[in-house]
Structures are given as C-alpha cells and as structure tokens.
Structure 1
C-alpha cells in the first residue's frame, strides 16, 4: 500500500523569491492569512509577502528566541532575541502544523547549551551557546525586561555564565 503526502507544494512564484544558499533547503511552508507565506528552511525563517515587489524577510534561526503556537487562533508568534514579537496568522491549511513543528525543531537545533542566571539586580538572563546558520558556535545573553546588560554587576554575572556555558561543551573561555 502506497502512502501519499498531503503536504501543500510551495508555489513556484514563492520558491523563486527565496534567496536560498546552495546548501539550504525548504523543510516546510504554509500560507498565512493575507496571501503571505511562512517558509522554514534549514538555515532560516523566510516570510514571503503576497506583493511580488516586497522584499522577503529572512531571519537565521539564531535570531529567534522561541515560538508559541495558539492552535485555536491559528497564530504562530515568533519571539525574537531582540525582545520583539511577530504574529504569523496561519491560514486554515494542513501545512500549518508542519510549519509549527519544523519551526520548533529548527530553533531547538540552533541551541547547544543553556544556563539560566539570576543577576544581582534580580532579573533573569538566559545564556545560550548557539549555532549560527554556518554552524559556528557563539554565546547569546537574553534578559527579561528587568535586566540592563550594561550594568557592571550584571555584565560580570553574564560573562561568568558565558564562560561556564562554553566550558560545559569544551570550548573554554
């Protein structure tokens, strides 16, 4: 018995607008309300506007902090490392589930190791060792709203956490 995929094929007009590197590949794609498309590739999240003259928004996975899916509202909210958020209203399409799952997998794949730190001012910082889109490792510090990463005591606590995170995976300081 043969199994058939019901996955929606990415329209050629959308695929042509993607600026994929030779070693990149589309893993999942789904239409968004309003005619836009969310495209998950190995290296990045691509948001393709319905207007063929509009630029394609492309963000490497290391720019994404996390995502939350409101299944009832069919909205995937992208939480960026900058603290900004982008709501992606998914069209009523079976491919939306693939995009949400693959999105989660790609963000998780970019994270190697994480340490949570409470800084002297009482805020919390997540220090992560992540892979950039070329596979190179780097540390990233993401604080909650109460954290001023420029505060000297906070900077020292974050630097110590970065050293520990790097040591945990054998990279040293």
Structure 2
C-alpha cells in the first residue's frame, strides 16, 4: 500500500497522533486506524472496528456502522480508497458467525479487534430482519450463544 503524505490532506482534517495515511480521495481519507470523510461542515472519524460493512458501487462508498448508522461517501476519483477500506475492515474481524436461535431466526455474532491491534475485541450482535433486538428473551439467547463462542475461541 502506498503511503500518502499529510500535505495532501483536506483542509480541516486532523488525524490522531501516530495515525498513518493509507489512501486519499478528495475529502475522504483512509488511515491505518479509521476512515475519515466529510459529513456536512465537519469530518467524521469512523474507526475500522466500527464498520460493519462497506460496499463500493457507481462512485459511492456505502458504509454501514455496527449498530446501524449508514453513510454514503461520494468519491469522484476513488484511487485506492475502496480497496483500502475493504482490507482495513476485513483485518479487524476476528470472529464472525451466524447462529440460529431456538425461537426461529438468528443472529450474527462478531468480534472485531481495534485497528491498531491493542485492546480487547469488541463483540456485536446483529439480529436477522424481523427479530426484535430489545426482546429480553431473544437478547438472552443471543448473549448465551456469544458466551459459548467466546469460550470456544478463548476471546
């Protein structure tokens, strides 16, 4: 991956200490720690472990956050940003599995490690469409399945 010099960064973007630039496209910057993009008048910093899914199509990088937030980032000259996003998001995934729940339907259980490699993995539960994640019984089943996966993997 080619590193990009900080002088090519968009005006108003501040990176964290030690954060290395990997790819730049206009007002969108991919670093070793996060995706930075213009969101109105300010920049949004989205750490890689918070990106559940990203897709590149027709000049738009569609990003879905863990927990449901969605962003559409238009890249007129994408350069290596889409490939860098894919590589960085994939690199954070430690475990990702779909578990069927006793009452029907299922849940995707994932563990993602922070991009800089320090810290414990962050676990997430993403329920199948039509399931209510606020249902205490359903949540208990999913958490029990997550604990079993944690035991099996030693995470």
Normalising by the smaller structure, the TM-score range is: 0.7 to 0.9
Q: 1:148 deviation in Å?
A: 1.8
* Partners of 2:88 and 2:115 within 8 A in 1: no
* Partners of 2:4 and 2:21 within 8 A in 1: no
- Tell me the distance in 2 between the aligned counterparts of 1:22 and 1:143: 36
Aligned length: 152
The answer for the alignment partner of 2:25 in structure 1 is: 30
- Single out whichever of 160-169 and 38-47 deviates more from structure 2: 160-169
The answer for the alignment partner of 2:112 in structure 1 is: 130
Task: Give the superposed CA RMSD.
Answer: 2.5
Instruction: Provide TM-score, normalisation by structure 1.
Output: 0.75
The answer for the alignment partner of 2:43 in structure 1 is: 56
Q: 1:138 deviation in Å?
A: 2.2
The answer for the alignment partner of 2:52 in structure 1 is: 65
* Partners of 1:67 and 1:104 within 8 A in 2: yes
Which sections of structure 2, spanning at least 5 residues, go unmatched?
A: none
Q: 1:133 deviation in Å?
A: 4.6
Q: 1:144 deviation in Å?
A: 3.1
Which sections of structure 1, spanning at least 5 residues, go unmatched?
A: 32-36
Q: CA separation of 1:122/1:24 partners in 2, compared to 1, >3 Å: closer, same or farther?
A: same
The answer for the alignment partner of 1:21 in structure 2 is: 16
Q: 1:169 deviation in Å?
A: 2.8
- Larger-Rg structure: 1
